[in-house]
Amino acid sequence: MNAAVSGVVTVAAPAKINLYLHVIARRADGYHELDSLMAFTELADSLTVEKAGTSMIEASGPFADRLPDGEDNLVIRAALALAEATGRRPDVRFDLTKNLPVAAGLGSGSADAAAALKGLAALWGLTEDTVDMIALAREIGSDVPACLLSTPVFVGATGEDLDPAPPLPRAGVLLVNPGVTLATLSVFENRRGGFSPEMRFDEAPADVAALAEILAERENDLTEPALGLSPVIADVLAALEAAPDCRFQRMSGSGATCFGLFDDQEAAEAAIPAVEREGWWVAATRFRETGTA
């Protein structure tokens, strides 16, 4: 966890992408069991936490105006949950730089919540045995536990089961969102058909081409229902497929953001002109290094 300096902590909140996502069952309570491989990118929101006389959050950045208010904001929900679990008052100020689109399949709200937990733990001097952070993260949101780790991870059940994934090559990643938001619940409600098997793997891909071969044998089972709600996703996937040197393309999570994989970040940046469209958000990045803050 980050060490607090002068009562201020800054934590990155990396975007997640679902390299594959299989819906493997539907539970009696209506929730779906998943098998997914999550990876994280260097592109991130940034959250600064500091002591204050009262709890507040200030947001800036290109997507600051799309954040929910009050406890609908996962940063606030995380602060309240950790304060209650440790018997503290959440008298802190959050400054959030919102670089990632909201409701876009990148887990940006979950990443912000995970960053809040990390930042508060450092600010308050909490040790590893003070509170079970993973268990607390599960209560906040299904993607928050994985975002708390921010390393390649296989995600099972409804998001709470986490298993380390093999190391991934340092791929370049091109993220493209057509300027639409999709609610995860709506995408699941629009889903029809059967279920897919769990398809985890043990060996680390040697390079991006090898990773692309592995992913080609798997799917994102939410793509079809997302396309039914937002057909423009097909245009995004076609643009990425046609982009020079793109090794693989897929929708992330419940959409509408899609990603293309490249040999390195420079190749992803070079492909930006090929996929740019009016109203689309496009960003080049790369997989995050394991162990970075």
Cα–Cα nearest to 75, from 52, 54, 96, 91: 96
For the question of residue 69 being annotated catalytic, the response is no
- The set of long-range contacts for 263-270, using a CB threshold of 8 Å and a minimum separation of 24, is 263/171, 263/172, 263/207, 263/208, 264/170, 264/171, 264/172, 265/172, 265/173, 266/172, 267/172, 268/172, 268/173, 268/174, 269/172, 270/244, 270/245
For the question of residue 112 being annotated catalytic, the response is no
Strand blocks (E) in 7-79:
8-26, 32-51, 56-60
Q: Which of 16, 45, 112, 118 is catalytic?
A: 16
Q: Which of 69, 143, 221, 264 is catalytic?
A: 143
Residues 173 and 41 sit within 8 Å (Cβ to Cβ): yes
CA angle (258 as vertex; 245, 216 as ends), nearest 5? 65
Q: What residues have CB less than 8 Å from 88, skipping those under 6 apart?
A: 82, 124
| Residues tagged active-site | 16, 143
